[in-house]
Chain A
Amino acid sequence: MKRRDFLKAAGVAGAALAGGPAEAEQPADPIEFAGVLVDTTRCIGCRSCEKACSEEHDLFVPDIANDNALAAERQTSETQWTIVNRYETSKGEVFVKKQCFHCWQPACAAACLTNAMYKTTNGPVIWRPSKCMGCRFCMVSCPFDIPKFEYHEWNPKIQKCNMCFERLQEGKRPACVQSCPTDALMFGMKRDLMEIARVRIYNHPERYVHKIYGEHEVGGTGWLYLSAVPFEEIGLRTDLGTTPYPEYTRDFLYGVPLVLFGLPALLLGLNLLSGDDDEA
Chain B
Amino acid sequence: MAIPENLGSEFRRFLGFMASEMRPKGKLLTPFNIISVPIILLGLGILVVRFTKGLGSVTNLSQDFPWGFWIGFDVITGVAFAGGAYIITFVVYVMRKERYHPIVRVTVLNGLLAYIFYAGALTLDLGRPWNIINPIIGNEFGYNSVLFLVSWHFMLYMMAEFVEFSPVVAEWLGWKRVRGFLDSLTLAAVIFGITLSTLHQSGLGALYLMAKPKIHPLWYSEFIPILFLVSSIFAGLSMIIFEGTISHRVFKDQIDPKKHHTFEEIVFGLAKGAAIAMFVYYFFKALIFIHEHHWTLLNDFWGFWYLVEILGFVLVPCFMFAYAVRHRRLGVVRVAAVLTLVGIVLNRLNISVIAFKWDAPIKYYPSWQEIVVTLMVVFAEIWVFRWIVLRMPVMREAHETPTSHSPAIEAPPLRT
Residues of chain A at the chain B interface (Cβ within 8 Å): 75, 77-78, 107, 110-116, 130-137, 139-141, 143, 145, 148-156, 237, 239-241, 245-246, 248-249, 251-253, 256, 259-260, 263-264, 267-268, 270-271, 274-276
Contacts and interface: CB of A to CB of B under 8 A. Distances in A.
B416 to A, nearest CB: 35
Contacts, number: 165
A91 B262 CA distance: 77
A78 B129 CA distance: 20
A260 B199 contact: yes
Contacts of B195: 259-260, 263-264, 267
A153 B55 CA distance: 8
B139 A131 contact: yes
A206 to B, nearest CB: 32
A111 B94 contact: no
B210 A256 contact: no
A141 B210 contact: yes
A129 to B, nearest CB: 8
Given A133-B130, A139-B63, A151-B59, 12 more contacts: A113-B148, A131-B131, A136-B67, A137-B145, A140-B67, A154-B51, A248-B210, A253-B149, A263-B195, A264-B191, A270-B94, A271-B95
B146 A253 contact: yes
A154 B212 CA distance: 31
A259 B199 contact: yes
Q: DSSP class of A's interface residues: helix, strand, loop or mixed?
A: loop
Given A151-B55, A271-B187, A114 B131 contact: yes
Given A134-B129, A267-B194, A271-B96, A152 B53 contact: yes
Contact of A137 (B95, B129, B147): B147
Interface string B121-150: 000011111111011000111101111110
A110 B145 contact: yes
A249 B146 contact: yes
B209 interface: yes
Interface string B340-362: 00000000000000000000000
B: contact size bracket: 35 or more
A28 to B, nearest CB: 25
Contacts of A240: 213
Interface in B255-280: none
B185 interface: no
Nearest to B97: A274
B191 A267 contact: yes
B128 A155 contact: yes
Contacts of B319: none
Contact of A132 (B62, B131, B191, B207): B131
A252 B202 contact: yes
Contact of B134 (A131, A149, A246, A276): A131
Q: Chain B CB within 10 Å — which of A132, A136, A260, A270 has the most?
A: A136
Nearest to B132: A133
Nearest to B134: A114
A159 to B, nearest CB: 10
A141 B142 CA distance: 15
Nearest to A262: B195
Nearest to A131: B140
Contact of B127 (A112, A115, A149, A248): A149
Contacts of A112: 142, 145
A52 B156 CA distance: 48
A258 to B, nearest CB: 10
A248 B225 CA distance: 12
Contacts of A130: 131
Interface string B168-211: 00000000000000000001000110110011001100111111
A271 B93 contact: yes
Contacts of A155: 128
B61 interface: yes
B16 interface: no
Given A113-B142, A113-B147, A143 B213 contact: yes
B52 interface: yes
B54 A252 contact: no
A151 B54 contact: yes
B213 A135 contact: no
30 contacts: A75-B63, A111-B210, A113-B145, A114-B142, A116-B140, A131-B131, A133-B132, A135-B147, A136-B66, A136-B67, A137-B207, A140-B67, A140-B208, A143-B213, A148-B63, A151-B61, A151-B62, A152-B54, A154-B53, A156-B127, A249-B209, A249-B210, A256-B149, A260-B195, A260-B199, A263-B194, A268-B191, A270-B94, A270-B95, A274-B96
